[in-house]
Amino acid sequence: MSDRDGKIWKDGQLIDWRDANIHILTHSLHYGMAVFEGVRAYKTDKGTAIFRLREHTERLFNSAKIFQMNIPFDLETVMQAQLQVVRENKLETCYLRPLVWIGDEKLGISAKGNKIHVAVAAWPWGAYLGEDGLNKGIRVKTSSFSRHHVNVSMVRAKASGYYINSILANQEALADGYDEALLLDTDGYVSEGSGENVFIVKKGKIYTPDLASCLDGITRDSLVTIARDLGIEVIEKRITRDEVYCADEAFFTGTAAEVTPIRELDNRAIGDGKRGAITEKLQNVFFDAVAGRTPQYSHWLTIV
Ligand code: PMP
């Protein structure tokens, strides 16, 4: 991805895409402590808009706080940087990647004294789990890898190093011919996908795991709000994998994955083995919201 035209915001300045480099001895590259966001901008009638910009930026700052990484910019500046990157690259719809990392002053576990850097890049990115996945649903496999334990990793942070676990799970699922992995927590309860939160629908009610071992997803929060506004009850609780097998519907949510139906888990068809009616309804309301077609949710959008 390094050989492209365009601009990347790095430490307060817009620089050429090809010049947005780091040194090989960058601390974060060696030990995995960096925090990041995944954000999307969508085309609306009023122009391109970033979806839930403030919430993503606040989560980035909270992630940094958890690791005692002092971001040398304020929240407003990092929000403006994201708007600027979309604008400068003339992107109509795109994915944004804000990243905070520890510099190359020295190596060793202690990062004390090393500089904290911030960058924001943006590029066009279509349906993460495929257009077909959005329409027909995907096939998922329960992972042999467990999701994070609360006293090993602090999952309120969206941290680069945590994604080793995600990559292992995703690699395994793909190698076995599935589209994505579902990870269980260390007690064996359903946690989340490698990069998505998970929901099930049973008898008209929606269930999703509590936040003990999964990321506090912003799409998750949006879907909970949308469902409750539609009068559908949403319950956060521990979920077992066989509850997913026996659910009427299931779906993943995430900035990249948006709202992706799950049609099969571990070779068991979920419901009718296709996108369910409630999932489709929620998907439609979500895609209307991100495209600025729902005045009720216009506060989720920041026009570029
Ligand atoms: N869980 C994990 C592990 C993720 O990487 C993501 C994507 N950021 C999510 C859940 C969904 O979070 P969000 O809706 O904020 O993108």
Which tens digit of pLDDT belongs to each residue from 7-37? Answer: 999 999 999 999 999 999 999 999 999 999 9
Expressed in angstroms, the distance from the first to the final Cα of the chain is 24
The catalytic residue among 7, 10, 141, 158 is 158
- Taking a C-beta distance cutoff of 8 angstroms, is the pair 210, 273 a contact? no
pLDDT at 224: 98
Any atom of ligand 1 within 6 Å of the Cβ of 209: no
Q: For residue 266, which of 179, 140, 169 has the smallest C-alpha distance?
A: 140
Active site residue 237: no
Question: Which portions of the chain are predicted below pLDDT 70?
Answer: none
Whole-number Å distance, alpha carbon 107 to ligand 1 midpoint, is 30
Whole-number Å distance, alpha carbon 149 to ligand 1 midpoint, is 17
Q: What predicted TM-score, i.e. pTM, was given to this entire model?
A: 0.97
Query: Crossing angle of helices 277-290/218-229, nearest 10°?
Result: 110
Q: For residue 301, which of 77, 59, 53 has the smallest C-alpha distance?
A: 53
Contact partners, residue 285, CB within 8 Å, separation at least 6: 226, 230, 294
What's the CA gap between 70 and 160, in Å, rounded?
Answer: 16
Going through 47-189 in order, the beta strands assigned E by DSSP cover: 47-51, 94-102, 116-123, 138-146, 180-184
- Taking a C-beta distance cutoff of 8 angstroms, is the pair 60, 69 a contact? no
Q: Is the dihedral of CA 304, 117, 148, 128 positive or negative?
A: positive
Any atom of ligand 1 within 6 Å of the Cβ of 258: no
Contact partners, residue 213, CB within 8 Å, separation at least 6: 147, 148, 149, 150, 155, 185, 186, 191, 192
pLDDT at 127: 87
Delimiting residues of CATH 3.30.470.10 domain(s) in the chain: 7-123
Which residue is closest in CA terms to ligand 1's atom 9? 196
ipTM > 0.90, yes or no: yes
Whole-number Å distance, alpha carbon 250 to ligand 1 midpoint, is 16
Which residue is closest in CA terms to ligand 1's atom 2? 195
What are the tens digits of pLDDT across the range 55-94?
Answer: 999 999 999 999 999 999 999 999 999 999 999 999 999 9
pLDDT at 160: 98
Rounded to 5 degrees, what angle do the CA atoms 32, 140, 256 make? 50
CATH number given to 7-123: 3.30.470.10
- Alpha helices (H) in 25-68, listed in sequence order: 27-31, 53-66
Delimiting residues of CATH 3.20.10.10 domain(s) in the chain: 131-290
CATH number given to 131-290: 3.20.10.10
Mean of the per-residue pLDDT values of the chain: 97
